[in-house]
Amino acid sequence: MLGTGLIGNFYTMCIQDKRTQDYVHSVYSRTEERAKKFAADWNIPHWTTDLEAAIQQPEIDLVVIGLPNDMHLDIVEMAARAGKGILCTKPLGRTAQEAKAMLDLVEKAGVFHGYLEDLAYTPKTLKALRTIKNGAIGRITWARSREAHPGPHSDWFWDIEQAGGGAIIDIGCHCIEITRNFIGKDVRPLEVMCWADTLVKPIDAEDNAIGIIKYANGAIAQFEVSWSYRGGLDIRDEVDGTEGTIRLDHFLRTGMEMFTAVGEGDYMAEKMESSTGWLFPVGDELNTLGYNHMFADMFNAMDDNKLPMESFYDGYIVNTIMDACYRSVKSRTWEPVEIEDWRGSSELKGKFQIKEYDASHYLIKEELLPDGRKKLILKHKQSGRILEQVV
């Protein structure tokens, strides 16, 4: 386990808390004090502050990267050279160029690789994906993902050089990959329009952003991210199809609410700002945020010698979209998504299926009126005239 911050703690908690054959053998931290304490807290037999030594240990099968973004490329190079499997936290790189270099390294070395995009693995998201694949909401036309909170925990996130950006690169990567899963990973992202600004925080990077992504099948994805949202961690998704809609609320409205005038004095949930008043505890945070399903998929895929649901290639595609977002912020125009290595479908446009009402009309809409009658909005095939009919 490389890293002992918030994400390293979540990853280790997920692995060590479950009764499985997988366990953390060694932990690396940039400070000796933190390495020792982390190893003791999680009953990890070995700790070190030497990054190369941590990776080279012969007992190690898999390296998990939970360190700042500017360190990812060097670590992937070290681990690939050592022949270790590699799991990397999001985002894969600070830019698509870095992400592509990492993808090339693992594929050339022939080592297992996984992109740790936990929010693509939440139980609700996985259920929604099964529903979509079963055709329950028809052809996907629009997907939206929102993540907002008061800002990251560690100092390096706020440094544009170490992080590579602000709210877009930190949490926009989640939203982009979630909507990409909904629309279909085989569908090519074409272009992006994005607004971003620094509204609240005294930093060089953006603390708020909104983006729109056009896909080759005509679908649209929208993301909203904020580092200045007050009230906890707001994670919501919505996906619309020609036959239905799915709405997901992952964290603030999970069915458990409590009021306390004095406070509990213990950790309640990630990004929770207050310990008194109305609170929204999360029963099983690791499961709710997808960590359990993510690591199960990673370890099973490694055992089966196949790629997991989220691989370095997915991380690379996300980085190409975020690069286009940052270009659009500067140009204030639509910017193309520049993908050097596209492996999905080459189809440029989806098939729009028009519903027929009868031999002469297309069906635009039908609705039930308060008096029980049904109103139909129709389009005449030959004249193009729009008309209504009540039955």
Q: CA nearest 148: which of 249, 222, 252, 224?
A: 224
Angle, CA 353 vertex, CA 350 and CA 356 arms, to 5°: 170
The 10 Å CB-count burial string (b at 16+, else e) for 61-76 is ebbbbbbbbbbbbebb
Q: CA nearest 139: which of 177, 187, 173?
A: 187
- In the three-class reduction of DSSP (H, G, I as helix; E, B as strand; rest coil), residue 150 is classed as coil
Q: What is the pLDDT of residues 326-365, one digit of tens each?
A: 999 999 999 999 999 999 987 766 556 678 889 999 999 8
Q: CA nearest 140: which of 235, 221, 250, 236?
A: 221
The contacts of residue 170 (CB under 8 Å, 6+ apart) are 91, 152, 157, 163, 225, 227
Q: Compute the distance between CA of residue 28 and CA of residue 2 in angstroms, rounded to an integer.
A: 5
Q: What is the pLDDT of residues 141-199, one digit of tens each?
A: 999 999 999 999 899 999 999 999 999 999 999 999 999 999 999 999 999 999 999 99
Q: What is the pLDDT of residues 61-82, one digit of tens each?
A: 999 999 999 999 999 999 999 9
Q: Compute the distance between CA of residue 227 and CA of residue 150 in angstroms, rounded to an integer.
A: 5
Asked whether residue 377 carries a pLDDT value surpassing 70, the answer given is: yes
Q: Compute the distance between CA of residue 262 and CA of residue 146 in angstroms, rounded to an integer.
A: 32
In the chain, CATH 3.30.360.10 covers 119-286+312-336
Helix axis angle, 312-331 to 173-183, nearest 10°: 110
What is the distance between the terminal CA atoms of the chain, rounded to a whole angstrom? Answer: 66
Q: 295 phi and psi, to 5 degrees?
A: -70, -35
Asked whether residue 386 carries a pLDDT value surpassing 90, the answer given is: yes
Q: How far is CA 277 from the centre of its chain?
A: 30
Alpha carbon separation from 225 to 50, 150, 364 (Å, rounded): 36, 11, 34
Reported pTM: 0.91
Q: What is the pLDDT of residues 256-310, one digit of tens each?
A: 777 888 877 666 666 667 778 777 777 788 888 999 999 999 999 999 999 999 9
The contacts of residue 7 (CB under 8 Å, 6+ apart) are 66, 89
Q: CA nearest 44: which of 90, 75, 3, 87?
A: 3
CATH of domain 119-286+312-336: 3.30.360.10
The contacts of residue 217 (CB under 8 Å, 6+ apart) are 183, 184, 187, 347, 349, 350
Q: What is the pLDDT of residues 94-125, one digit of tens each?
A: 999 999 999 999 999 999 999 999 999 999 99
At 155, which helix (H) or strand (E)? none
- In the three-class reduction of DSSP (H, G, I as helix; E, B as strand; rest coil), residue 249 is classed as strand
pLDDT of residue 277: 78
CATH of domain 6-118: 3.40.50.720
Q: CA nearest 1: which of 63, 68, 78?
A: 63
Q: Is the link from the previous residue into 91 a cis peptide, with omega within 30 of 0?
A: yes
pLDDT of residue 18: 72
Cite the DSSP H helix spans in the chain: 6-17, 32-41, 51-56, 72-81, 96-109, 123-133, 160-163, 167, 173-183, 285-288, 291-303, 312-331
Say if residue 101 is exposed, middle or buried (CB neighbours under 10 Å; 0-12, 13-18, 19+): middle
Q: Compute the distance between CA of residue 379 and CA of residue 362 in angstroms, rounded to an integer.
A: 5
In the chain, CATH 3.40.50.720 covers 6-118
Q: What is the DSSP letter of 213?
A: E
Q: Compute the distance between CA of residue 103 and CA of residue 356 in angstroms, rounded to an integer.
A: 47
Q: Compute the distance between CA of residue 34 and CA of residue 384 in angstroms, rounded to an integer.
A: 71
Indicate if the alpha-carbon torsion angle 198, 203, 207, 210 is positive or negative. positive
The pLDDT mean for the chain works out to: 93
